Chains A and B, each alone.
Chain A
Amino acid sequence: MSTAQQIDTNTSVDVMTDTDQYLTFILAGEEYGVDILRVQEIKGWDSVTPIPNTPDYIKGVINLRGTIVPIVDLRHRFSLDAIPYGATTVVIVLKVTSDNGNRTMGIVVDAVSDVYNVAAEEMKPPPDFGAISIDYVKGLATVEEKMVIVLEIDKLLNSGVMENAEALLQ
C-alpha cells in the first residue's frame, strides 16, 4: 500500500514540473512546434483527392486506414510561397478539438525536426504583430538559442473554412 502511495506522489511530482513536449517541424526555414500529445502520426506525402470548391490550402483528403482525413497545406495557410513537395515533405496527422468534438486533420510541412521539452514558464507570449494572427500562436519558446513558434492548432485548424461551416450549421 505504502509503495503504491509513493509511486502516486512520484507521478504527481512529475506532473507538477509542468513541462510539455513539443514536436517541431520546419516551414520556410522557421521552426514551429505542436503539442506532441496531439500528434497522431507522421507520414510521408502521398497524393490526395482534391475536394471541389474549397480554399486552396485544403489540399484534399486522404485515406488514413479507412478514415477520411483532410489535409491542410500549412505553407498555403500562412500564405508562404509554395515549393514542390520533396523527399522530406511530410504530413503530420493531428487531433484537433473543437466545440463539435474531435477531428483528425493532417498538415503538410517541409520537414519534421525534433522533440523538445518546454516548461510552461519558459514560454514567452507572442508579440502583438507579425505575419500571422497571434490567435494561432500559443507562445514562443527558446530551445538551444533557436526560436520555436508553438502553434495553437485547435484555433488554427478550426478557423477559416471550418468556422464558416460551423456558422452555416447554426
Chain B
Amino acid sequence: MQVKDSNRNRRDFGVLALICLVLQLALAPNVGIGSGRANFALVFAGITSLLVGGRPAVLCGFVSGLVFDLSSTGPIGLMACLLTIGSFAVGIEARNRLADDFRRSMATFAPFAGIVSVLYHLTMLLVGDASSLVDVIIRRALPTVILTVLGFAPFAYVISHATGSTLSLGGKPSKSARSHGSRYDLDSV
C-alpha cells in the first residue's frame, strides 16, 4: 500500500537543496571551463520543476536564484527572477519527466539551462558589464550551460533510476498523487 509521506518528501528535497548549495559554494568556484562556472541553483530549480512543478517549483526557483545572486558579484534579483519564470514555465508541462525518462529530462533541462544562462548574461551585457555580445555568448554563457547540464546529469540519472525513496526517486506513484497529475506530493513543501 502506498502511503503519502509529505514529511519525507520535504526532507528529501531539503537534502537535495543542501547538496546543491554546498556544490554551488564549494565546487562551482573551483571547477570551470574558461570563464564558465556550473550553476547548481539552476540544477536545483530544474529538478524541482521537472519533478513537482506548480507553486513549490516556483518557490524553489526563486529561493535558489536568490542564493545564487547572493553568492555571486552580479546584481541581486536577476537570477531569482529568471529561475522563477523558468521554473513556472517548465513546471507547467514537464512535471514527472525527470523520473520517467532520463533522456527526456535532459532534453528538457538543456534548453531551460541555455535560455536562463543566455538571458542572464545578456542582461548583464545590457546593464553595461561587457562590450562584446560574442564574448558573452561564446566565452561565458556557453561554458556555463555545458557545465550546468553536466552537473544536472548525475542528479537526473540517480532520480530516474533509484528506487525506494518517497521523493520517489523511481518509486511507484501514490494513487492520490497520480490522480492529481503528479506522483510527487510536494504541495506541502
Partners in one complex: no
